[in-house]
Amino acid sequence: MTSPEARQHLIEFLNSIAKPGTRVDSEADDTNLIQQGLIDSFAVIQIISYLEQEHAVDLHALGVDPTSLSSIAGILAAISRAG
């Protein structure tokens, strides 16, 4: 389980990498942010860096599929697996 603080921190980060003029706050956790046009698929590498630096998540070691990081739920699941 991830804490509400971790979730809020993630939302703030996602807002910072979202396309200019868009926000992810009001999106459901399982919304695919790439398909909704809120982030581009290469913003996923920024999400990977965020997970590595902020949560010490090693996606390679965990065998996490990076494409699953296109939703809030997918990112929270990766944080949860690492924790």
71: nearest Cα among 20, 1, 7, 3: 7
Binding to other proteins (CB under 8 A) within 28-57 occurs at 35, 40-43, 45-46, 48-49, 52
62: nearest Cα among 72, 44, 74, 70: 74
Name which position in 6, 11, 31, 66 contacts other proteins (CB under 8 A): 66
Name which position in 10, 18, 72, 75 contacts other proteins (CB under 8 A): 18
Name which position in 3, 8, 36, 67 contacts other proteins (CB under 8 A): 67
| Nearest-angstrom CA–CA distance, 72 and 42 | 16
| Nearest-angstrom CA–CA distance, 8 and 35 | 22
Applying CB under 8 A, which residues contact other proteins?
16-21, 35, 40-43, 45-46, 48-49, 52, 58-60, 63, 65-67
